[in-house]
């Protein structure tokens, strides 16, 4: 009875929604929620506390921060978890295709939060 709890994560699907080949996973949803909440909180504080920054400045900053976080999280996954595989398949680090038997769309999977935090 108690051993069933140990195998629960293996039985849970990582996909929240699937539309054909397009998938929304729990992990990616949490990234989107974190980005949205952080943006809303920063914009609220700028208006309420009368900071000298404009909304356009914050939006520009957020674009670069989000881009850096996503790239860092992807590179963190590649370096910390699957370096030997990506050493032999460097194009698959950022391209969502498998090039072994022609070209097949596989998506990009694998991001590490500590890779994004280091970046």
pLDDT surpasses 90 at 37: yes
64: which 2 tokens?
Answer: 């670069």
Cβ pair 83, 89 in contact under 8 A:
no
pTM value? Answer: 0.71
Rounded CA-CA distance 78/64 in Å is 21
In whole angstroms, what is the distance from residue 58 CA to residue 115 CA? 23
Q: Distance between CA 72 and CA 19 in Å, rounded?
A: 27
For the stretch 61-97, pLDDT in tens is 999 999 998 888 889 889 988 899 889 888 888 887 7
Q: For residue 76, which of 112, 31, 109, 110 has the smallest C-alpha distance?
A: 112
- Over its C-alpha atoms, the chain yields an Rg (Å, rounded) of 19
Reported as a pLDDT band with limits 50, 70 and 90, residue 57 is very high
Q: How many CA atoms lie within 13 A of 99 on its CB side?
A: 10
Determine which helix (DSSP H) or strand (DSSP E) holds 16, and give its type and residue range: strand 15-19
The domain limits of the chain are: 3-118
């Amino acid at each position: 009875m108690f051993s069933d709890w140990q195998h629960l994560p293996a039985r849970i699907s990582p996909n929240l929604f699937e539309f054909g080949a397009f998938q929304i996973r729990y992990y990616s949803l949490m990234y989107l929620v974190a980005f949205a909440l952080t943006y809303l909180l920063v914009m609220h504080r700028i208006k309420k506390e009368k900071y000298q920054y404009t909304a356009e400045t914050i939006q520009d900053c957020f674009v670069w921060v989000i881009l850096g976080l996503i790239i860092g999280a992807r590179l963190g996954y590649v370096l910390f978890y699957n370096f030997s595989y990506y050493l032999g398949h460097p194009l698959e680090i950022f391209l969502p295709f498998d090039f072994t038997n022609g070209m097949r769309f596989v998506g990009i999977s694998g991001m590490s939060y500590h890779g994004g935090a280091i970046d």
